[in-house]
Amino acid sequence: MEIQTIKQRFGIIGNSPQLTRAIEVAVQVASTDLTVLVQGESGVGKESFPKIIHQMSARKHGAYIAVNCGAIPEGTIDSELFGHEKGSFTGAHEARKGYFEVADGGTIFLDEVSELPLSTQVRLLRVLESGEFLKVGSSKVVKTNVRVVAATNIDISEAIQKGKFRQDLFYRLNTVPIIIPPLRRRKEDIYLLFRKFSADFAEKYRMPPLQLSEEAREELMNYRWPGNIRQLKNLTEQISIIEENRDISANTLRSYLPQTRYNDLPVLYKKSDEETSFSERDLLYKVLFDMKKDINDLKSVVGQIIKDRGEGEEQLESNYRLLKQLDSNTDDLSGFSEGVEIKPEASDNGYNAPIEESEILDESLSLQKKEKELIKKALDKHHGKRKDAAHELGISERTLYRKIKEYDI
């Protein structure tokens, strides 16, 4: 069967190459019993593809059941899918068959499969691997021959990392993936869909169809459409009902679009009053500048200790070692900050203190100066005895000799 015929049969509108490819994969896999996972954002029309797979398979005369996993309460999902025995829980006045038993020999479509509880995911995995399941409250194994097509509108890999979805179940469901592109990546199809919806509503409400100006058509195609086809259909119906003038201008169209505007440009830094989102690179930059601040604080502490010998030699030695370690770590990370603008964070008093460029550039020089001063003071304290000075500074005598030569002390 030709792709265009399939589109007409199942009400799919669009000529996008990505959409056409998704239909081709659905047709090719229909004749098999492989499990299929349909992936795409909410509102892209994922529900059409399980119907294509079922109607073009040898199971087309069997049952087709679509289940919205996110709409069934967690406490009853196992009973809905696998059935239960009489008296298995409060309210179970009689035995009931589940969807997997009713759909035996047919196809079951699990929409929003990522919403399944983990305990239900274990049961589903067993059905996919062996075709067996247990009813709630029963120890008798039930056999079923069901073709499973699942769909999700989220990135399951993230759900796996958060422990909300089983990795083995994902690989079992994802035998054949079908990716449905969002409407913003099918710009050539947006106006076609608008015309179809406009004609349908004109017939439904007995009024002339809408006509878009050239500017309005550009506005329509350049909008991001976060709700995809569902949002476009709802907007077309709103305009069809409310606007008496059937010629729609760009200004009229904008009045129906949400005020929040979207763009596809990458964003390096993003901060809101409630939540701040950092990328991995942002976190590295933040660590770098936090370490710089720590070094400045530590330098002040060391300076105070030097002025007041009553603080003790052990604290001097400890702070000096920490200063060296932080200095070394900061030098390793300094390359990350080249050519990148870092947004300053608000201080405790609410004032956004800018990061002084001169402080960052002169950091290594000031550390060398402080190290030179500490070595001089240690040598003076021990009357030039390098062994004793090195011991107090927490470095080897050989290292102290190299530093003396390096700083020309």
**CATH for 231:** 1.10.8.60
pLDDT of amino acid 362: 45
Same domain, 198 and 174: no
- Count the neighbouring beta carbons within 10 Å of the beta carbon of residue 233: 18
Longest pairwise C-alpha distance within the chain: 104
Residue 266 maps to a domain: no
pLDDT of amino acid 371: 79
Residue 37 maps to a domain: yes
Residue 373 maps to a domain: yes
Q: Contact 274/281 with Cβ under 8 angstroms?
A: no
Instruction: Write the pLDDT tens digit of every residue in 197-210.
Output: 999 999 999 999 99
Instruction: Write the pLDDT tens digit of every residue in 390-402.
Output: 888 888 888 888 8
Same domain, 188 and 175: no
Residue 362 maps to a domain: yes
Rounded to the nearest angstrom, the gap between the alpha carbon of residue 272 and the centroid of all alpha carbons in its chain is 18
- Least Cα distance to 177 among 71, 42, 60, 34 occurs for 34
Q: How far apart are CA 141 and CA 133, in angstroms?
A: 6
* Selected residue with higher pLDDT from 277 and 56: 56
Looking at the chain, the whole-number percentage of residues with pLDDT higher than 70 is 75
The three state secondary structure string of the chain is CCHHHHHHHHCCCCCCHHHHHHHHHHHHHHCCCCCEEEECCCCCCCCHHHHHHHHCCCCCCCCEEEEEHHHCCCCCHHHHHHCECCCCCCCCCCCECCHHHHCCCCEEEEECHHHCCHHHHHHHHHHHHHCEEECECCCCEEECCCEEEEEECCCHHHHHHCCCCCHHHHHHHCCEEEECCCHHHCHHHHHHHHHHHHHHHHHHHCCCCCEECHHHHHHHHHCCCCCHHHHHHHHHHHHHHHCCCCEECHHHHHHHCCCCCCCCCCCCCEECCCCEECCHHHHHHHHHHHHHHHHHHHHHHHHHHHHCHHHCHHHHHHHHHHHHHHHHHHHHHHHHHCCCCCCCCCCCCCCCCCCCHHHHHCHHHHHHHHHHHHHHHHHHHCCCCHHHHHHHHCCCHHHHHHHHHHHCC
Same domain, 211 and 308: no
Q: In the structure, what pLDDT confidence band is assigned to residue 355 with cuts at 50, 70 and 90?
A: very low
Q: What is the identity of the amino acid at 259?
A: Q
Same domain, 112 and 241: no
Same domain, 243 and 210: yes
Mean pLDDT of 52-69: 97
Mean pLDDT of 338-346: 44
Place of tokens 């976060």: 226
Residue 268 maps to a domain: no
Rounding to the nearest 10 degrees, give the CA dihedral for residues 1, 108, 182, 118: -150
Q: What is the identity of the amino acid at 43?
A: G
pLDDT of amino acid 192: 96
Q: Contact 188/16 with Cβ under 8 angstroms?
A: yes
Q: How far apart are CA 177 and CA 21, in angstroms?
A: 12
pTM given for the model: 0.63
Q: How far apart are CA 244 and CA 189, in angstroms?
A: 26
Instruction: Write the pLDDT tens digit of every residue in 163-177.
Output: 999 999 999 999 999
Residue 171 has φ and ψ, to the nearest 5°, of: -65, -30
Last residue of a domain, one of 181, 212, 237: 181
pLDDT at 367 over 90: no
pLDDT at 141 over 60: yes
The CA radius of gyration of the chain, in Å to the nearest whole number, is 34
Residue 89 maps to a domain: yes
Q: How far apart are CA 61 and CA 54, in angstroms?
A: 9
Mean pLDDT of 352-358: 43
What residue numbers bound the domain in which 243 lies? 184-256
Same domain, 154 and 284: no
Of the listed ranges 106-120, 123-137, 262-276, 277-291, the least confidently predicted one is 262-276
Same domain, 284 and 358: yes
pLDDT at 259 over 90: no
Same domain, 190 and 299: no
Give the number of domains in the chain: 3
Same domain, 243 and 108: no
Same domain, 17 and 148: yes
Residue 161 maps to a domain: yes
> Considering the chain, what is the average pLDDT of its residues?
83
Q: How far apart are CA 296 and CA 285, in angstroms?
A: 17
| CATH at residue 161 | 3.40.50.300
Last residue of a domain, one of 146, 181, 216: 181
Same domain, 176 and 191: no
Instruction: Write the pLDDT tens digit of every residue in 76-95.
Output: 999 999 999 998 888 888 99
Last residue of a domain, one of 181, 208, 241: 181
Rounded to the nearest angstrom, the gap between the alpha carbon of residue 346 and the centroid of all alpha carbons in its chain is 27
Residue 201 maps to a domain: yes
Same domain, 10 and 140: yes
